[in-house]
Amino acid sequence: MSGKCGMRNSGGGIVARAGAAARSAAGAMQRVKFEAIAINSVAKKKPTADDAAHYIGLEHIDPGCFVVSRWGGDVAPIGDKLLMKKGDVLFGRRRAYQRKVAIAPFDGIFSAHGMVLRPKTDVVDEKFFPFFIASDQFMNEAIRISVGGLSPTINWGTLKNCEFDLPPMDEQKKLAELLWAANDLKESYKKAIIATDEMLKAKFREYISGVDVEVRPFGELSESLDGRRIPVKSGDRKAGVYPYYGASGVVDYVDSYIFDEEILLVSEDGANLTARTTPIAFSVSGKCWVNNHAHVVKFQEKATQKFVEYYIELTDISPYITGTAQPKLNKEKLNRIPIPLPPLSLQREFVAIADKAESAKANLKKSIAAIDQVMKGLING
C-alpha cells in the first residue's frame, strides 16, 4: 500500500493465514483521500479539575501500542483539549515520527497536539482502521507533510487531501481479524513480562528483608574504574572486533580496548534511567571499551556483581538523579545509593532465580518481535 499527497511515497498459524490474506488483499486496491476515510473530531473544552483524572496526553501513549495504560494528573491540564469518546483513535500529530497511535479507553479529553479520529465505515472497517493509522503507508505520509522545526506538526488541511490505498471492505475485515489476534497475543506476552518483573521485585524484597541483611553505600562496595578511560577523538577509533559500550549497551566495535575483566556498567545518562527504555546496569566481561556515558565499576567481596546489577534494575533510584533538561546519575550520587547485602549464598541464590526470569523474558521479547514482523507485513502489504 502507498500514500500520495502531491507526490507518491514508496515505501505459526497466524503467519500462514497472514501471508494468504496479504496476497489476497493486494489485488483490487482503492485509492481514497483521507477525508473520505476518517472524521477528524475537533470538539474541544477548557479542562476543569474534574477532567484531570480522564486526560490523555501524548506522553501517555507508547509507540507501537494501542493500549493506554496510564493517564491523568494531579491538576487540570492547561489550555483547550480535544474531547474524545471511548473507542476513538488517538493520533499524535505533533512529532509524528514518534508513531503514537492509541485507542481511547474511556470518554475524556486528549492533547491538542493530537488528533481524535473516527472511521467512515462505508469506506474503512472500524476494526481495521487503527491498524491503517499505524501503518507505514499512513505514517510515512504523515511525517512527510509535517511542518515546523523542533516540533514538526501535521495540519488537517494538508492531511485530508492525501490519498491512500485501501483493500476492499471484505479484505479489510479478514485482515482486521488476523491483526487483532496477533495484537492480543502480543499484549498477552507483554503482560507476562510485567508479571515476571513484579514477581522478581516481590522475591527480591524477601531476600533483602532478613535480619542478616547489612546495608552499605554503593561506593564502599565497589571500585570505580572511570579514571582508566583516556580521552580519544572519535576519528582515532577504527573499526575492529572489541565492543564499544555506552549507557545503553554496545554502540560500536573498535580495534582497541581498555578493560579486560568482569565489570559493571551503570548508565550515567539520566534520560535512560528515568525513561527505563534502555539498560540501567549491565555486566560485561572481556576486552572492551566504555565511553563516558556509563560508570565503570568492579565489586569487592561483600557483594556479587550480578546481585547489585539486579538491585539497581529492580529499585527506584530516581531520588539520586540530578538535573532536569539532561538528568544525570553522577558518581557522587551513585556512590551514595544504599545496597542491601544478604549473605553471599542468598545473593547467589537470588541471581540464579533472576537469571532464569530474564531468560524467559528474553524469549517473550523475541516472540513479540516476531509478531510485530507479521503484523507489519499484514498492515503494509
At 302-342, the pLDDT tens digits run: 888 999 999 998 888 888 988 877 788 999 999 999 999 99
Give the residue ranges of the chain where pLDDT is below 70.
1-27, 231-236, 274-278, 381
Element (H, E) at 217: strand 214-217
φ/ψ of 259, rounded to 5, equals -105, 140
In terms of DSSP H, where are the helices of the chain? 13-25, 34-37, 129-133, 136-145, 156-159, 169-207, 218-221, 270-275, 305-314, 331-336, 344-380
Please give the pLDDT value at position 15.
42
- The C-alpha atoms of residue 72 and residue 81 are separated, in whole angstroms, by 13
The contacts of residue 88 (CB under 8 Å, 6+ apart) are 41, 103, 104, 110, 116, 117, 118
C-alpha distances (whole Å) from 79 to each of 47, 89, 93, 269 are 7, 21, 17, 33
All domains in the chain, ordered by first residue: 3-11+26-166 (3.90.220.20), 216-341 (3.90.220.20)
C-alpha distances (whole Å) from 29 to each of 3, 23, 25 are 12, 12, 8
Hey, how many other C-beta atoms are within 10 angstroms of the C-beta on 50? Answer: 8
Please give the pLDDT value at position 322.
87
Q: Are 70 and 60 in contact (CB under 8 A)?
A: yes
Please give the pLDDT value at position 318.
86
Please give the pLDDT value at position 234.
61
pTM (2 decimals)? Answer: 0.76
Please give the pLDDT value at position 25.
46
Please give the pLDDT value at position 300.
76
Please give the pLDDT value at position 276.
63
Please give the pLDDT value at position 185.
95
Please give the pLDDT value at position 18.
46
- The C-alpha atoms of residue 280 and residue 365 are separated, in whole angstroms, by 18
- The C-alpha atoms of residue 260 and residue 198 are separated, in whole angstroms, by 34
Please give the pLDDT value at position 210.
75
Please give the pLDDT value at position 8.
33
Q: Dihedral sign for Cα 29, 30, 33, 37, please.
A: negative
Q: What is the largest CA-CA distance in the chain?
A: 71
- The C-alpha atoms of residue 51 and residue 336 are separated, in whole angstroms, by 40
Strand, coil or helix: what is 269? Answer: strand
